[in-house]
Chain A
């Protein structure tokens, strides 16, 4: 693979793929491994990539497959404390603690959702993809993307509420 092309891919999508893997696996360690494997596989199968299309959805598809494999291997998603780290901001320790707690609660609710909703939510809210890009990454019709996103968001809210009541 042209190393400049790879460097460009890494610059544009490295963090997004990492964040997706981080939220998907709940572990920084696994997220790094998945990010590395995503780019290595992309290099190995460059011939399957259609150069007329943006590479993002193709990369996210590889990353999601790896996340799925990882989820099948694990009995339970090992939510490590750091993986629930919120966006960096200046706050006191107490506020930071509460923010982390809220974050972990949200992630636990996410992991209770069926995979089809979880993936759409991750691609929309973590990787910040458009509907069309999500459709391309998951090989779904646009209407199905919208439906899953709608139901996924409601399911996330319900799971969060249920988690608080437990």
Chain B
């Protein structure tokens, strides 16, 4: 290697396309020692390039990530649930509120509903629309059951 031969690290930068001065190519043509260094680095880089993979993030995983950071309309859902419950009370005749609180079963169903909503939050990486639909279904179920109880109890 002659005095003005670039360092090994510089040849590596040429191999990696980080140095593109035409001088290096001219030098390679005239310097067998540098040519040998260049080829050695090229071979090692070629070997390491086998690490490259074309694997792609599964679309379901990508969707899950986006859903996890999407602002979750929890406040809206809770407000909606209360409105629905309030509305259902109004539908179930006057004096409904006292009736609702006097029926012991309500507490159990309230617990079940709370637990179900808690579960929904646990799996909140689901699409918010799915969660909202499930919550609505649960509320509907609760209202239907309460209505049935009221009918039975007269």
User: Contact check: which of B12, B52, B61, B69 meets A150 at CB < 8 Å?
Assistant: B12
Nearest A-chain residue to B46, judged by Cβ = A153
Return the contact of A6 from the options B18, B52, B55, B69 (Cβ within 8 A): B69
A124 in contact with B69 (CB, 8 Å): no
B9 lies within 8 A of A146 (CB): yes
B55 contact set on A, CB distance < 8 A: 15, 18-19, 22, 28, 85
Q: Are A39 and B54 in contact (CB under 8 A)?
A: no
CA distance A53 to B43 in the complex (A): 33
Task: Return the contact of B57 from the options A14, A23, A121, A122 (Cβ within 8 A).
Answer: A14
Beta-carbon nearest neighbor of B11 in chain A: A150
User: Whole-angstrom distance between the alpha carbons of A98 and B16 in the complex?
Assistant: 28
Task: Output the least CB separation between B131 and chain A (Å).
Answer: 17
In the complex the two chains form, is A35's CB within 8 Å of B69's CB?
Answer: no
A36 contacts the other chain (CB 8 A): yes
Q: How far is the CB of B47 from chain A (nearest CB, A)?
A: 6
Interface size class of A (residues with CB under 8 A): 35 or more
CB atoms of B18 and A23 under 8 A apart: no
| Count: A-B pairs, CB below 8 Å | 103
Which of these, B41, B52, B68, B69, contacts A153 with CB under 8 Å? B41
Is B5 in contact with chain A by the CB < 8 A criterion? no
Contact flag A125-B52 (CB < 8 Å), given A6-B69, A10-B65, A36-B64: yes
Partner of B65, one of A19, A39, A124, A125: A39
CB A140 to nearest CB in B, in angstroms, measures 14
Residues in A whose Cβ lies below 8 Å from that of B18: 130-131
Overall SS of chain A's interface: helix
Contact yes or no, B54 A106, CB < 8 A:
no
B45 within 8 A of A: yes
**CB pair B51 A125 closer than 8 Å:** yes
Q: How many interface residues does chain B have, given as a range?
A: 20 to 34
A86 nearest CB neighbor, chain B only: B53
- B44 interface hit (Cβ, 8 Å): yes
| Minimum CB distance partner of B40 in chain A | A154
Cβ–Cβ contact A153 & B47, under 8 A: yes
Q: Which residues of B contact A10 (CB under 8 A)?
A: 62, 65-66
For A22, the closest partner residue in chain B by CB is B55
State whether the Cβ of B70 lies closer than 8 Å to any Cβ in chain A.
Answer: yes
B105 near A: Cβ within 8 Å?
Answer: no
CB of A102 within 8 Å of the partner chain:
yes
B57 touches A156 (CB 8 A): no
Residues of B within 8 A of A6 (CB): 66, 69
24 A-B pairs whose Cβ atoms sit less than 8 Å apart in the complex: A3-B70, A18-B55, A18-B61, A22-B53, A22-B55, A32-B57, A36-B61, A36-B64, A36-B65, A40-B65, A87-B53, A103-B50, A106-B51, A124-B48, A125-B49, A125-B51, A126-B53, A131-B18, A143-B9, A149-B12, A150-B41, A153-B41, A153-B48, A157-B43
